[in-house]
Each structure stands twice: as C-alpha cells, then as structure tokens.
Amino acid sequence: MNKEIVKASSLSVSFNNQTVLEHVDFSIGEGEVFALLGGNGAGKSTTLKTFLGTVKSSSGSASVLGMDVAEDIDQIRRKVAYLPESVTLYGHLTGVENIEYFLSLANVDRSSTEIEQALVRVALQQEAWHREMSHYSKGMRQKTAIALALLREAPVLFLDEPTSGLDPNAIDEFNQLIATLAAEGTTVFMVTHDVYGACQIAHRIGLLDQGRIVGMFERGEGERIDTEVVHTAFSNRGKS
Ligand SMILES: Nc1ncnc2c1ncn2[C@@H]1O[C@H](COP(=O)(O)OP(=O)(O)OP(=O)(O)O)[C@@H](O)[C@H]1O
C-alpha cells in the first residue's frame, strides 16, 4: 500500500465495561476509498467517532496523516472533512453563504470565483447557489459540503452512510464525484450498512461484526468488489 493516511491499530473501545470495538486493525492508503461495513450495532459509528475524537479508545490507537487522535485531534480536524448522514449546515443561509461562513471559521480565504468553481465541480445547479439551504435536497446539501471540503483542500473525507436517502441518479453522481476525488488523491473513509453501495464505490471493504473486523474484500484491477461475495459474508457473519 502507498502512504497510510488513516490507520486503526488494535483499536478497542469500551462503554461501561462493555467492549464495543475489539482490536480493530485497518489502514487506508492515499487516494483509497475504504468502506467499513456492518449491521446495526456493529460499531461503525463508534469507530468513526473515535477518529473524530469524540469517543476515547480504551487501548490501541487511531491516527490520521501520521498524527495520533489522542494527541493531535485539533490538527487532524483541520485536515478532515466529515459528512454526517444528514448534512444540515445552516438552513436559513444560502449554499454560498454557508460556504463563506464555514471557510471563515476555518480561517480559509477564498474568492467568489473559487467558490463558484467548487460549486460547478460538484455539479450543484447554479439556480440553487443563492437559495436558502432549507430548500435543498440531501444530495444538494452533500454537494455543498463536498464543495466546502474542496475549498478547504481537505485531504481526507469521512462519510457516514453517504448514499442513504439519495435517488439512483444522485447516488451515481455522488459515486462519480467520490471516485474523481479519490483518483486525485483524496482519501475516503466511509461507514455504511449498505452492501451494494459499498461495493459500488469502495476499493476495499472491511466487514465489522460485534466490534471485530471479520472480513476484508478488495477490488481487482478495474473491477468492482463482488456484491454476492460480500453479501454472503454479511449474511453469514456470526454463524461460524
Ligand atoms: N455512548 C454509548 N454508551 C454505551 N453504549 C454505546 C454508546 N455508543 C454506542 N454504544 C453501543 O455500542 C455498540 C455499537 O454501536 P454503534 O453505534 O457504533 O454501532 P453502528 O454499527 O454504528 O450501528 P448503527 O448502524 O445502528 O448506527 C452498540 O451496542 C451500542 O449500543
């Protein structure tokens, strides 16, 4: 693998003496799309929250760009763009106003032209740019958040169930955008319970069950990960 950008090393998390993540190991290379796939309660959100620094590990480590979450979380947050399952931003501000506001919070200075170029890149329709975001669809809110990530030049994207609630066209468009960003070097870490969606987009999939990685699937040259194989493993988890 090329440079390891996101890495979990024997990562364990417990809540009230109950182990929720147990020695989780994975690493994501530069420009790779990695999906952590699992059913309800498998520990996906806990893993993501550990990387976001809102949940503390009980042992092992999580690192991003070589920085340990336990030591350098502020630095890491400057480098990561996190898209929660439902991107909200501020509904009473327009897409452009939201971008300007969040860029100013991040101390990033961008011209109107640069903002427009980013919105064109993510294919947010121009008529929406100056409309309040409360009228945006989920897909449009995601595009705005990705435009913001582009303008922040975030090298790492964290995505939580990114395609749930999107229509098939919006899913295709989203997958295409993520594939382009990854080809340009952005590293993408997503968590999902959607087998099909993960196979569409990921270079590698880690299957998480009851806090443990129980399978790892990799895309062959020019091919997608086989949905059947992953679906079978997903259905059989915990049976052996
Ligand atoms: N703050 C917490 N305190 C106690 N237990 C928690 C806490 N957060 C999560 N858990 C437990 O940890 C386990 C994993 O939860 P987590 O939310 O990470 O799973 P998930 O894979 O994201 O599930 P889902 O797909 O349903 O969102 C669950 O059993 C959950 O009840």
Looking at the domain assignment, is residue 15 inside a domain? yes
Distance CA 72, CA 86 (A): 27
Total count of domains within the chain: 1
Region 145-166: mean pLDDT is 91
ipTM of the shown complex: 0.96
To test the ligand 1 pocket, which listed residue (22, 46, 210, 212) has its Cβ within 8 A of the most ligand atoms?
A: 46
Asked if 95 and 129 count as a contact pair (C-beta separation under 8 A), the reply is yes
pLDDT in tens, 175-211: 999 999 999 999 999 999 999 999 999 999 999 999 9
Please work out whether the CB of residue 42 comes within 6 Å of at least one atom of ligand 1. yes
Enclosing domain of residue 16: 4-83+155-236
pLDDT tens, position by position, 158-168: 999 988 888 88
How does DSSP classify residue 219?
P
Distance from the CA of 217 to the center of ligand 1, in angstroms?
24
The reply to whether 19 falls in a domain is: yes
Which atom in ligand 1 lies closest to the alpha carbon of residue 193?
25
Q: Tell how far CA 105 is from the center of its chain.
A: 21
Q: Assess if residue 36 is contained within a domain.
A: yes
CATH number, residue 229: 3.40.50.300
CA distance 190 to 28: 11
Q: What is the pTM of this model?
A: 0.93
Which atom in ligand 1 lies closest to the alpha carbon of residue 46? 18
Q: How far apart are the first and last CA of the chain?
A: 30
55: enclosing H helix or E strand: none
